[in-house]
A and B are shown apart, each in its own frame.
Chain A
Amino acid sequence: MPIYKRSLFSWVFKTSVPLQLLLLLLIIGVVFLRVLPLEIQKRIINDVLAVGDVSQLLVYCLIFLLAVVFSSLLKLSVNAVQTVIGQRALTDMRRELYQHILRLPLSFFRKTPTGTVVASLVTELSASANFVGAAIAVPLSNILTLVAIGAYLIWLNALLGIVTLSIYPIALFIVPLVQRGVNTWNKRRVDSSNKMASRITESVSGISEIHAQGSFQDEERSYNSIIERLLKIRIIWTLYRYGVKVTNNLFVGLGPVVVMLLGGYLLMQGETELGSIVAFLSAQEKLYDPWKELIDFYQTQQDASVRYQKVMQIFTGETEFTLIAEQRSPPAIRGSIEIRDLEFVTPNGIKLLDQLNLSLEAGEHLALVGFSGSGKSTLAKCIGQLYSYTGGELLIDGRSVAQMSKEEVVRSVGFISQDPIIFSGTINDNLTYACNALADYPDRDNDREPVSLDDKIAVLQQAGVFVDILRFGLNTILDHQRHPELEKRFLKIRANFQENFGAELAEHVEFYYQDNYLYHSTIVENLIFGSIQSDLTLDSLEENREFLTFLDSVNLKLPLLETGAELLKQTVDILGRDVPRDNVFFEQTPVEPSKYDRYLELADQLGTAPLTKLATENRLLLMKLAFRYIPARHKIVDLQQLLEKLILAGRHEFRVWSGEHMVGAVSFYKDTEYIRSQSILNNIFYGNLTSDSPKVEDRVNQCIVQLLIEEDLLEQVAAIGMEFDVGNRGDKLSGGQQQKLSIARVLLKKPKVLIMDEATSALDNNSQSRIQNLIEKWKGSRTVISVIHRLDLLPSFDKVAVMKTGKIVESGEPQKLLADQGVLHELVHGKKR
């Protein structure tokens, strides 16, 4: 049964049976231990106190004590088991709901806000899970306790027992009546809160319009009416909730009165003993607890089912495809495509595709062109099974795409979209994304081979992103424990570089010369001029007290603090307080966006006291800024000549000082040694590249590639580059790199049918042409459907279909259509003005 049709209660039995049985046993133990003290109490009063037997008193008290202790321990165990069951249920719900959500049609995601999906999975389900954990334990243990105590009381004195217990059925009738009120108003509260949330979202996202129109009061009015209604609802809802408690307490409070009245009378008549009356009175209290818990549980259950239903309502919908093919081995796809009277109508009745007819032999290449909004992209998505068409037929190798399983489609069809989605992780994770997905489907013909490094490099080259990946590898600081053998080989490349290209590129490299200041390095790198091989890293050096003393001794402490303060002042002055904490705004300042709030606090304190009087942690923050300052990049502050001289002098002093204080821990830059704190590229250069010129960049790439090939290191550096972390949703990659990577990952899959939805639109002409040339070679072997906007690519396609407002207005060979001077001709050559 699909998850959205399942009842909340069905989750109770889904969790492991042994745990539920264990729970049952524990509960029986608890109930027994709850009743036992009542009997002990009675015996102490009736038997022991009357006779005055001290040893008997001790025995009874010991039993009483043990009962209390064990009852608490058992209760703890019940809670533990209950929690495990509840949390497992939550995990199950989250797992299955997520699975369901991922497979919902794309149209679902267009109309459902991401926030709703997130909130449902993250917060809303936990209330339901609490209920599932408690669903058996709470009612069972409390009902059993009630029954056991009730039975014991009747056994003690039937009349008194029955009268005392008769209160509860009445309460059982009245309490749900009040609870119904709670539920009604709770639903209204949830609706009203949602309304409020969407109102706020709308206002905030439209804030510029509100400012532009000055419609503040109007917005406030509509918001106020919602919160005033919410106010009323919340008050009534809360009153009802208290109503449940009060009604309940009232009935329970009546208990002792009955016991005292009737029990007292019976005692006076000699029909019962004092011990029984005491037992009855304590039983009242013991009855109250389980009763209260039952009522609370009832409320939890009501609340949980309201929320659960709301969540499941959101995700009502069926998957539009089957995941795994039912046939044992679906036939291999050749790639012919037949489209007959194809229609795609949106749920609100807009016809995006209208009576399309088209046929394509296996291995033919089709270009889809047309005006924007003409349905090219929709058609491409229908062929790729991303949208399910609403009428007509779409056949691949004579089989309907609508009937095909996802398994068959992803095996044979590659889809590259215009807006590439790159997931967080490494280049490699993204590159193998499609292939890894395939690996999760059954391997029908046992013909699956693992993707080799050579395959990956080949597609990266085809997509034109190989050099970028290589560069990522070169910019990596080598992990010498993982690649201990590589350092020597890079040193060899350094020598070769110097010999072959050193003179040519010298003006674009800032070499690591002992007497030169490095404007493309941080202050701390300038000062240390080496790498530190202990727990201390360059990033945390400002926290090292001895090092700070050293700075003081070479007169650098105050100038560095001043530099830090100036950097901070300028940053705050330029960026302001409200700038988004986005890397892009922080590229020219050493302030890290994630720490900007902390730095803002510090900025407020600057100027109120001399820098040396700042709190230690604040001084460390300023020191850190100064340490990270790179003059060539952080142009908001100029490097003072005096500071430059002091740092160069400090560099010499540090050599002496570290020889005494950090023996063996520092290895200084030396042109015969690998520098572990610097990137591979800087190691090859033995310096920093200073140029941004594309020509220099190209030349550097050529040289480095040549050197890497000579040393047989190209693949290894590329592999290191593939470990580059692309950042959140790939934000460390440029738009072009993202697009190329998304092309490469589909190429790696070698699909029989390739659909490209303006896949190369973000790329430069050379890259577009390179990919087009590659695809041309597939003529006859792979079917290609490409939505293109660059019409000069048309000649390389077998067929072209021109679309306009959901219809194919022309189709056929490109040359022929152009000669006919129809719509395609108009598209290519522009309208006659």
Chain B
Amino acid sequence: MNSSTERNVESDKRTGFEQDLDHLRKVPLFQGLDYECLKLIAMLCKKIDMIEGDQLMVQGEDDGYAYYLVSGSLQIFHRQDDVDYPMKTLEPGQFIGGLALLGKTIRLFTVQANEKSTLLRLHRDNFQKVMEQFAGNMTRIAANLASELTGWEKDILNLTERKELEGGNQVLGISLL
């Protein structure tokens, strides 16, 4: 009956579920969600182990998954004219693919595991089932998404050289979406 309290006394170990929940709390897209809602999301996340070379997503496909990297590392690639250009590397604690949770999303990048990695995986269908239960939280997600997008572009603008801006950059402006 008191096994949970006993366990807490015995050692400070959290259950697998509690660990997952703590990871998800750090995800920017999930900030401010009701605790009950986040718990249900954690319940529908699956912890998976990948080995080097496993592909999480493939450019041009809609797989519908979002991932939280628990351990290991991931490499992002973009393919153009049959050449895979490596982009950035993802470290533990990062969350990717969140847009796919919101609706059909054709991937613009390929992501694969650099080494043995552990991830939390969540599928769009499951995420949307949770959101049906906590309809009000969708507004939170939308707000988080908006601020993420704006923040992202702000960073890019800060990095953009004055010269480039003077040339009349035609690409920037995604936060005006």
Interface residues in chain A, defined as those with a beta carbon under 8 Å from any beta carbon in chain B = 208, 212, 562-563, 565-566, 569-570, 574-576, 578-580, 582, 584-585, 587-589, 606-607, 610-611, 635-638, 640, 691-696, 735, 764-765, 833
Q: Does B51 make an interface contact (CB < 8 A)?
A: yes
* Given A574-B40, A765-B58; A565-B3 close (CB under 8 Å): yes
- Chain A residues with CB below 8 A from B170, complex form: 833
Kindly report which residue of chain B lies nearest to residue A606, judged by CB atoms: B1
Q: Please measure, in the bound complex, the distance between the C-alpha atom of A638 and the C-alpha atom of B53, giving whole angstroms.
A: 30
- Chain B residues with CB below 8 A from A691, complex form: 49, 51
Q: Does B162 make an interface contact (CB < 8 A)?
A: no
Kindly report which residue of chain B lies nearest to residue A792, judged by CB atoms: B60
In the complex, the answer to whether A566 meets B51 with C-beta atoms within 8 Å is no
A-B contact pairs, 29 of them (CB 8 A): A562-B1, A570-B15, A574-B17, A574-B42, A574-B43, A576-B40, A579-B40, A580-B133, A584-B44, A585-B43, A585-B44, A587-B44, A588-B17, A588-B43, A610-B1, A635-B17, A636-B16, A636-B17, A636-B43, A638-B7, A638-B13, A640-B3, A640-B7, A691-B49, A692-B49, A695-B50, A695-B53, A696-B51, A765-B58
Q: Does B169 make an interface contact (CB < 8 A)?
A: no
Shortest Cβ-Cβ A-B pairs, 5 listed: A635-B16, A692-B48, A636-B17, A562-B3, A208-B135
Chain A proximity of B172: nearest CB distance (Å)? 13
Q: Please measure, in the bound complex, the distance between the C-alpha atom of A7 and the C-alpha atom of B125, giving whole angstroms.
A: 48
Of B4, B46, B60, which is within 8 A of A569 by CB?
A: B4
- Please tell me the size bucket of the interface on B: 35 or more
In the complex, the answer to whether A638 meets B126 with C-beta atoms within 8 Å is no
Q: Does B25 make an interface contact (CB < 8 A)?
A: no
* Given A574-B17, A635-B16; A585-B129 close (CB under 8 Å): yes
Kindly report which residue of chain B lies nearest to residue A696, judged by CB atoms: B51
Which of the listed residues B16, B39, B42, B129 has the most CB atoms from chain A within 10 Å of its own CB? Answer: B16
Q: Give me 13 other A-B pairs in contact (C-beta within 8 A), A566-B3, A584-B125, A692-B46 excluded.
A: A212-B136, A570-B15, A579-B133, A587-B44, A588-B17, A606-B1, A635-B20, A635-B47, A638-B16, A640-B7, A693-B49, A695-B51, A765-B61
Kindly report which residue of chain B lies nearest to residue A697, judged by CB atoms: B54
* Given A580-B133, A585-B44, A640-B3; A570-B17 close (CB under 8 Å): yes
In the complex, the answer to whether A635 meets B36 with C-beta atoms within 8 Å is no
Question: Residue-by-residue, is B38-73 near A (CB-CB < 8 Å gives 1, otherwise 0)?
Answer: 011011101111110111001011010000000000
In the complex, the answer to whether B3 meets A693 with C-beta atoms within 8 Å is no
- Chain B residues with CB below 8 A from A611, complex form: 1
Which of the listed residues B3, B40, B61 has the most CB atoms from chain A within 10 Å of its own CB? Answer: B3
- Chain A residues with CB below 8 A from B135, complex form: 208
- Chain B residues with CB below 8 A from A764, complex form: 58, 61, 63
Chain A proximity of B121: nearest CB distance (Å)? 8
Q: Please measure, in the bound complex, the distance between the C-alpha atom of A611 and the C-alpha atom of B39, giving whole angstroms.
A: 27
Chain B proximity of A806: nearest CB distance (Å)? 24
Q: Please measure, in the bound complex, the distance between the C-alpha atom of A611 and the C-alpha atom of B133, giving whole angstroms.
A: 33
Chain A proximity of B56: nearest CB distance (Å)? 9
- Chain B residues with CB below 8 A from A610, complex form: 1
- Chain B residues with CB below 8 A from A694, complex form: 50, 54-55
Q: Please measure, in the bound complex, the distance between the C-alpha atom of A588 and the C-alpha atom of B15, giving whole angstroms.
A: 13
In the complex, the answer to whether A565 meets B1 with C-beta atoms within 8 Å is yes
In the complex, the answer to whether B43 meets A566 with C-beta atoms within 8 Å is no
In the complex, the answer to whether B17 meets A695 with C-beta atoms within 8 Å is no
Q: Please measure, in the bound complex, the distance between the C-alpha atom of A428 and the C-alpha atom of B121, giving whole angstroms.
A: 31
Chain A proximity of B96: nearest CB distance (Å)? 17
Q: Please measure, in the bound complex, the distance between the C-alpha atom of A630 and the C-alpha atom of B16, giving whole angstroms.
A: 13
Which of the listed residues B17, B50, B58 has the most CB atoms from chain A within 10 Å of its own CB? Answer: B17
- Chain A residues with CB below 8 A from B4, complex form: 566, 569
Chain A proximity of B51: nearest CB distance (Å)? 5
- Chain A residues with CB below 8 A from B49, complex form: 691-693
- Chain A residues with CB below 8 A from B47, complex form: 635
Q: Please measure, in the bound complex, the distance between the C-alpha atom of A582 and the C-alpha atom of B128, giving whole angstroms.
A: 13
In the complex, the answer to whether B51 meets A693 with C-beta atoms within 8 Å is yes
Q: Please measure, in the bound complex, the distance between the C-alpha atom of A637 and the C-alpha atom of B61, giving whole angstroms.
A: 36
* Given A764-B61, A764-B63; A582-B17 close (CB under 8 Å): no
- Chain A residues with CB below 8 A from B46, complex form: 587, 692
Q: Please measure, in the bound complex, the distance between the C-alpha atom of A570 and the C-alpha atom of B48, giving whole angstroms.
A: 22
Chain B proximity of A20: nearest CB distance (Å)? 55
Chain B proximity of A337: nearest CB distance (Å)? 31
Kindly report which residue of chain A lies nearest to residue B117, judged by CB atoms: A693
- Chain B residues with CB below 8 A from A692, complex form: 46, 48-50
- Chain B residues with CB below 8 A from A579, complex form: 40, 133
Which of the listed residues A570, A635, A638 has the most CB atoms from chain B within 10 Å of its own CB? Answer: A635
In the complex, the answer to whether B39 meets A574 with C-beta atoms within 8 Å is yes
In the complex, the answer to whether A585 meets B54 with C-beta atoms within 8 Å is no
Chain A proximity of B106: nearest CB distance (Å)? 9
- Chain A residues with CB below 8 A from B133, complex form: 578-580
Chain B proximity of A176: nearest CB distance (Å)? 54
Chain A proximity of B113: nearest CB distance (Å)? 8
Chain A proximity of B21: nearest CB distance (Å)? 9
- Chain B residues with CB below 8 A from A565, complex form: 1, 3
Q: Please measure, in the bound complex, the distance between the C-alpha atom of A569 and the C-alpha atom of B4, giving whole angstroms.
A: 10
Chain B proximity of A581: nearest CB distance (Å)? 12
Chain B proximity of A161: nearest CB distance (Å)? 74
Question: Residue-by-residue, is B1-18 near A (CB-CB < 8 Å gives 1, otherwise 0)?
Answer: 101100100000101110
Chain A proximity of B120: nearest CB distance (Å)? 11
Chain B proximity of A618: nearest CB distance (Å)? 13
- Chain B residues with CB below 8 A from A635, complex form: 15-17, 20, 47
Chain B proximity of A690: nearest CB distance (Å)? 8
Which of the listed residues A636, A640, A735 has the most CB atoms from chain B within 10 Å of its own CB? Answer: A636
Kindly report which residue of chain A lies nearest to residue B119, judged by CB atoms: A692
Of A212, A607, A833, which is within 8 A of B1 by CB?
A: A607
- Chain A residues with CB below 8 A from B51, complex form: 691, 693, 695-696
- Chain B residues with CB below 8 A from A566, complex form: 3-4
Question: Residue-by-residue, is B104-139 near A (CB-CB < 8 Å gives 1, otherwise 0)?
Answer: 000000000000000000000110010001011000
Kindly report which residue of chain B lies nearest to residue A631, judged by CB atoms: B16
Q: Please measure, in the bound complex, the distance between the C-alpha atom of A3 and the C-alpha atom of B63, giving whole angstroms.
A: 48
In the complex, the answer to whether A582 meets B129 with C-beta atoms within 8 Å is yes
Q: Please measure, in the bound complex, the distance between the C-alpha atom of A695 and the C-alpha atom of B113, giving whole angstroms.
A: 11
Chain B proximity of A564: nearest CB distance (Å)? 10
Of B1, B53, B55, B126, which is within 8 A of A584 by CB?
A: B126
Q: Please measure, in the bound complex, the distance between the C-alpha atom of A497 and the C-alpha atom of B44, giving whole angstroms.
A: 34
Q: Please measure, in the bound complex, the distance between the C-alpha atom of A86 and the C-alpha atom of B170, giving whole angstroms.
A: 77
Kindly report which residue of chain B lies nearest to residue A576, judged by CB atoms: B36
Q: Please measure, in the bound complex, the distance between the C-alpha atom of A120 and the C-alpha atom of B51, giving whole angstroms.
A: 56
Chain B proximity of A556: nearest CB distance (Å)? 14
Chain B proximity of A593: nearest CB distance (Å)? 13
Q: Please measure, in the bound complex, the distance between the C-alpha atom of A587 and the C-alpha atom of B49, giving whole angstroms.
A: 18
Q: Please measure, in the bound complex, the distance between the C-alpha atom of A566 and the C-alpha atom of B48, giving whole angstroms.
A: 24
